[in-house]
Amino acid sequence: MTRTMNVRGEGSAKRKLTTFDVVAMKSRGEKIVAITAYDALFASLVDAAGADLILVGDSLASVLCGEETTLSATMEQMTYHGRIVARGASRALVVVDMPFLSYQVSIEEAVRNAGNILKHTGAGAVKLEGGSEVLDTVEAIVGAGIPVVGHLGFTPQAVHALGGPRIQGMDEDAAMFLEDDAVALEEVGAFAIVLELIPTSLARRVTEVVSVPTIGIGAGPDCDGQVLVLHDMLGLNEGFSPRFLKRYAELGRATREAVADYAQEVRAGSYPTEEHGYEPAGDGG
């Protein structure tokens, strides 16, 4: 069977967004629409629908591979999925997560890994987790000409150290520490910062104190943008239902129903019908 699929989406003539475009959206008061996706087909769909930023998250370890945490994600996985997402995105800025231990071991290794992600995927930036402990690393990566998105609050790669996916920055000392980290990340060159699972009031404070965009997930409405995992918002990942998640569709249920209908028709012999078959062409005689 021959199948042709256009993964470039309907917006292939649109100009590709850059990190400068994303930063400028904050100054214009425009909300940034970010979505996490993992393949070319879904990337083309969200790109055509108007997403500004597509994050290739190390959450693929959980969402696609069934792992309990993101820790098993590898450079090979992130590079592969980053490459195929970039193929499907004609307008959105593609950002790829740096996986666990790809930037924590040494600054030199972090720069090399970040460079390889951009070199082999066609993405426009990388994202890494942490605050004061990664400032020198972020500065070095940015210094190598590689745009960086920071990530504060609940950082999934530190899930065990944090005692699970808990809200961060609840007391004033922790809030001030996180705010200082956000300012420091901007100072060393991060062009945007993801804020995950922090109080709305703290997200508002951070958003006001930094000039780069904040992108929230479980951080309330006052961030400069929002990000959700596509599989979560479409209802495909039915076992994941945190308070911050809004499901915009129920495709998990729709998929089960569709496959059940297909199975029933196959077993009953009602699919395929003659209209779904092929006959060899005659010899013209």
pLDDT in tens, 95-145: 999 999 999 999 999 999 999 999 999 999 999 999 999 999 999 999 999
In this structure, what is the dihedral angle of CA atoms 198, 202, 205, 209, given to the nearest 10 degrees?
-50
Upstream peptide bond of 272 is cis (omega within 30 degrees of 0): yes
Residue 9 has pLDDT above 50, yes or no: no
| Model pLDDT for residues 22-81, shown as the tens digit of each residue | 999 999 999 999 999 999 999 999 999 999 999 999 999 999 999 999 999 999 999 999
C-alpha to C-alpha distance for 138 and 193, rounded to whole angstroms: 12
Helical spans, DSSP H, in 28-133: 40-48, 60-63, 75-88, 107-121
Q: Where are the domains of the chain?
A: 19-233
The CB-side HSE value for 41 (13 A sphere, CA atoms) comes to: 3
Residue carrying the six token digits 């808990």: 166
CA distances from 184 to 32, 120, 151, 179, 214 (A): 22, 29, 12, 9, 14
pTM over 0.85: yes
CATH number for the region 19-233 comes to 3.20.20.60
What does the pLDDT read at residue 283?
59
**Segment 188-198 mean pLDDT:** 98
Catalytic residues: 196
Percentage of the residues of the chain whose pLDDT score is greater than 70: 94
